[in-house]
């Protein structure tokens, strides 16, 4: 496996590369790197190598459906060409093109979602956001650039403090932003007109998997009658959930939560650090995709249109 691919995988695992959209584009680039630098002339061995690389990349962030769907997009095209008996040179070019197409579509989706979502924001609105979603930020920035005066509350998003990254990004745009501790959401939520968040995955029933704390914020917003808007590209919709499978919730290193020194002092202490939680569809008012606005209950339609009714007998990276 190409060393650059290994480095990319490590960067994703350690969250030096973060954000579902960026992760999706990065793994598409990684599989392209592996393909272009493959040395050999046997198509069967080439496909085996690409599948092995895909499985390795998937293991880095099991909840990031954008990662799986980026690889699914590329490997489905590879599979079609392989079955047609193409040689390695042609297979390489197909992997490269599919990777480029995925990245282009991802960037177009960001612009399209920002355009659609910004129309939901009115001059003078107050927005609440969580974590550091490029999709949510795209909507907020577009509204600001359109001349709308808005105020944003960004919660810290512990333990990695992605909310601080969001606050800095919005501040650089000249947007009025206030950073708050996660547990203060109930105090400020009644000032908000919208909660705008991203998603790492959307299930067939419209449930949204996002950074841990999202479900709590959505519940508080629901109680306060503040609309919750999710910005998510269609490649974040998880086809596996169509068949009833649950999305795996990643458990991260406990030393993101507690220092090793303190942990060793507190003998017998148990620590959990789930990276994501699941927000039920009844707490979500609207999902904005690059194809338009949908209700959470329409997620099944997106899956049918994007992935078809048959789906996969097995995943394209499986042998």
Task: Provide the residue ranges of all domains of the chain, joining segments of one domain with +.
Answer: 3-111, 113-307
Task: Compute the Cα dihedral for 138, 143, 146, 152 and give only its sign.
Answer: negative
Q: What confidence score (pLDDT) does residue 317 get?
A: 81
Mean pLDDT of 210-236: 97
Position 313 scores a pLDDT of: 60
Q: What does each C-alpha distance from 290 to 107, 270, 283 come to in angstroms? A: 10, 42, 21
- DSSP of 6-69, one letter per residue? HHHHHHHHTTSS-SHHHHHHHHHHHHHHHHHT---S-HHHHHHHHHHHHHHHHTT-TT-HHHHH
CATH number of 113-307: 3.40.50.10470
Choose the weakest-confidence range: 59-68, 163-172, 299-308.
299-308
Residue 143 annotated as binding site = no
- 21 in a labelled binding site: yes
| % of the chain surpassing 90 pLDDT | 85
- Ranges 73-77, 163-167, 249-253, most confident: 163-167
Residue 230 contacts residue 266 (beta carbons within 8 Å):
no
When pLDDT is averaged across residues 195-215 and rounded to a whole number, the result is 96
* Mean pLDDT on 80-109: 96
Q: Known binder of ligand: residue 19?
A: yes
State yes or no: 231 annotated in a binding site: no
Reported as a single tens digit per residue, the pLDDT across 142-161 is 999 999 999 999 999 999 99
CB-based contact 27:12 (threshold 8 Å) = yes
Catalytic residues: 131, 200
Q: Is 188 left (phi over 0), alpha (psi -120 to 50) or beta?
A: alpha
Report pTM. 0.85
DSSP output for 28-43:
HHHHHHHHHT---S-H
Q: Do the domains at 3-111 and 113-307 have one common CATH topology? A: no
Crossing angle for the helix pair 65-83 and 43-58, to the nearest 10 degrees: 170
Find out whether 72 and 102 touch, Cβ atoms under 8 Å.
no
Average pLDDT of the segment spanning 157-173: 97
pLDDT average, residue stretch 87-101:
97
Query: What percent of the chain is predicted at pLDDT more than 70?
Result: 97
The response to whether 72 counts as a known ligand-binding position is: no
236 annotated to bind ligand: yes
Indicate the average pLDDT of the chain: 94
Q: Looking at the domain 3-111, which fold is it? A: 1.20.120
User: In whole angstroms, what is the distance from residue 87 CA to residue 74 CA?
Assistant: 17
What phi and psi, each to the nearest 5 degrees, are found at residue 60?
Answer: -70, -40
Q: Is 40 labeled as ligand-binding?
A: no
Residue partners of 194: CB distance under 8 A and separation at least 6: 120, 121, 125, 127, 128, 226, 227, 228, 229
Residue 252 marked as a ligand binder = no
For 138-147, the pLDDT digits (tens) are 999 999 999 9
């Amino acid at each position: 496996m190409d060393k650059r691919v290994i480095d990319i995988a490590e960067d994703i695992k350690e969250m030096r590369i973060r954000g579902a959209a960026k992760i999706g584009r990065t793994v598409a680039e990684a599989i392209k790197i592996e393909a272009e630098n493959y040395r050999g002339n046997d198509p069967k061995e080439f496909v085996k190598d690409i599948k092995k690389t895909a499985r390795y990349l998937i293991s880095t962030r099991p909840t990031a459906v954008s990662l799986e769907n980026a690889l699914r997009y590329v490997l489905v095209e590879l599979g079609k060409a392989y079955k047609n008996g193409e040689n390695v040179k042609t297979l390489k070019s197909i992997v490269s093109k599919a990777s480029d197409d995925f990245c282009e579509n991802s960037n177009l989706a960001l612009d399209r979602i920002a355009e659609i979502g910004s129309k939901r924001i009115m001059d003078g609105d107050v927005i609440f956001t969580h974590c550091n979603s490029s999709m949510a930020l795209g909507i907020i920035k577009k509204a600001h650039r359109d001349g709308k005066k808005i105020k944003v509350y960004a919660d810290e998003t512990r333990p990695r403090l992605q909310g601080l990254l969001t606050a800095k990004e919005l501040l650089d745009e000249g947007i009025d932003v206030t950073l708050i501790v996660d547990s203060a959401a109930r105090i400020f939520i009644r000032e908000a007109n919208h909660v705008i968040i991203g998603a790492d995955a959307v299930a067939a029933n419209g449930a949204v998997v996002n950074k841990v704390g999202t479900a709590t914020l959505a519940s508080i917003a629901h109680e306060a009658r503040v609309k919750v808007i999710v910005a998510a590209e269609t490649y974040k919709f998880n086809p596996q959930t169509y068949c009833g499978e649950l999305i795996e919730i990643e458990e991260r290193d406990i030393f993101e939560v507690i220092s090793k020194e303190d942990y060793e002092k507190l003998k017998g202490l148990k620590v959990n650090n789930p990276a994501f939680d699941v927000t039920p569809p009844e707490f979500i008012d609207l999902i904005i995709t690059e194809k338009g606005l949908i209700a959470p209950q329409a997620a099944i339609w997106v899956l049918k249109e994007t992935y078809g009714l048959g789906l996969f007998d097995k995943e394209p990276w499986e042998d």
